[in-house]
Chain A
Amino acid sequence: MYEPKIICFYCKWCTYTGADLAGTSRMKYVPNGVVIKAMCSSRVDPQHILDAFSKGADGVLIGGCHPGDCHYVTGNQLTYKRIEMLKRILPEFGVDPKRLRLEWISAAEGRKLVNVMNEFTDDLKELGPARQAVAEEV
């Protein structure tokens, strides 16, 4: 059974704390994510995302604060614009833009994080392994 590998970049202030909440609340969810804590979702350089895909990640999830709630005021706006543009570039390199997902998850939304991870994992299972998809594409 194919299990997708998801690299999750969570902002320290909202999504990471939300993931903590999911954990301390003992919510069960898929174990496919590898979490990397960042000070802000905008700390995630597009190079980090491309690097993850080039090293075999099947999906990349970016978690940030809701618009207007950014700890650094405008960080998540930057993230949003970068991800929108990256989604237009990924298909040119043979990566389905559905493999990149941006979600606003606050520190109180442990439940949302669980749902997003479950849903994203299901979507990726449907898409199949990233490497194979790239190989077929080119």
Chain B
Amino acid sequence: MAKLKLGVYWAATCGGCDVSILDTHERVLEIVEAADIHFWPCATDFKVKDVEAMDDGFLDVTLFNGAIRNSENEHMARLLRRKTKVMVAYGSCSAFGGIPSLANFTTREAILKKAYETTDSTVNPEGVRPQTSTEVEEGNLTLPRFYDHVYKLSDIVPVEYIIPGCPPPSDLLMTAVEAIVSGNLPPPGSTIAGKKTLCDECPLEKSDHPKISTFKRRFEVIPDGKTCFLEQGLVCMGPATRSGCGNACINANMPCRGCFGPAEGVKDQGAKMLSALASIVEFDDEDQARDLLAELADPAGTFYRFGASDGLLSPKYKQGSEEEAKAEGAKVS
């Protein structure tokens, strides 16, 4: 059998997903045995022009990690989509928006203002901001346009498979590689992970009718390591998060943060978590319940920590809208 042609790309991401591929340790040899890497900016020296020179559909699989944050991310997503037979959204950022998508709770203007003007370490009295195009003696310098919102990969291009996680555990990658090599692939649109929620696999002890009477944060307590985190007052995303991570956080005595996204068939992870949490918050009367819920810090950021591009109310990508904004942005930014 001919070797698979593999591409790996990073968009708005931290680079942890690339490291997770190397985290397969000696099994990376199995990957290299089965596949030739044709593009991987983090680890190899192929350039964008090499990708542009490929025939359409040349790559068999592309592992695309990172959200779509700027015009370069979008351009590369579209380019790689054309060159790839099977597009895999690899990691929470490309699957659900990930940590970068928390920017959807604020505005582009507020982000740029914070980063270039108001942080304590910034000295920028003239309010200089990066420009998408700058004329210098040597010629014209360009930068990608910073979008108003953060999108997940499937908002921009069709995606065949999702491998979630922040970063995805290496055994899920190996499962995917084995599936691709053997041709025994799940139906397109599948998520390569568990189907149920993390609670379903969690080894901690749970009572039948848990109650929360106070909210605590992880730095305030040391969990006992035996009882369900929720019963100890810590928000654990287990009830609303897909299983398949191998309980990595739970085993390290940390509550789940929700990086695997919603379970099968669920549209909105945050709404499901909100529902689950509401059902176990103690209720004596309306005032008491309201006060207790007010103690919960940053509910949106907690429930949508990895999925603020994936919720029902998340910004919807409209063809051309960012391009128009680009024309506008060129004037103001």
Contact = CB atoms under 8 A, between A and B. Distances in A.
B275 A45 contact: yes
B42 interface: no
A84 B290 CA distance: 7
Contact of A47 (B148, B267, B315): B267
For the side of the interface on B, what is the size category? Answer: 20 to 34
B312 A80 contact: no
B268 A85 contact: no
Interface string A56-91: 000000000001000000100110111011101110
B69 interface: no
Given A46-B274, A80-B286, A85 B312 contact: no
A83 to B, nearest CB: 9
Nearest to B105: A92
A138 interface: yes
Contact of A46 (B104, B275, B293, B300): B275
A53 B313 CA distance: 7
Contacts of B266: 47
Interface stretch (B1-9, B78-86, B276-284): B276-284
B285 interface: yes
Given A82-B275, A138-B107, A89 B270 contact: yes
A51 interface: yes
B281 A81 contact: yes
A89 B307 CA distance: 14
A27 interface: no
A128 B289 CA distance: 31
B216 interface: no
B271 A47 contact: yes
A95 interface: yes
A80 B266 CA distance: 22
Contacts of B303: 89
Interface string B303-321: 1000000011111000000
B285 A67 contact: yes
B293 to A, nearest CB: 5
B150 to A, nearest CB: 12
A78 B289 CA distance: 10
Given A51-B267, A88-B300, 11 more contacts: A46-B274, A47-B267, A49-B271, A53-B312, A81-B281, A89-B274, A90-B313, A92-B300, A93-B104, A95-B313, A138-B107
Q: Which 10 pairs across A and B sit closest by C-beta, in order of nearness?
A: A46-B271, A81-B278, A93-B313, A92-B300, A50-B312, A82-B278, A77-B283, A47-B271, A92-B105, A89-B300
24 contacts: A45-B275, A47-B271, A47-B272, A47-B312, A50-B271, A50-B311, A50-B312, A54-B312, A78-B278, A78-B279, A81-B278, A81-B279, A82-B278, A84-B293, A85-B274, A85-B296, A89-B270, A89-B299, A89-B303, A92-B300, A93-B104, A93-B300, A138-B148, A138-B315
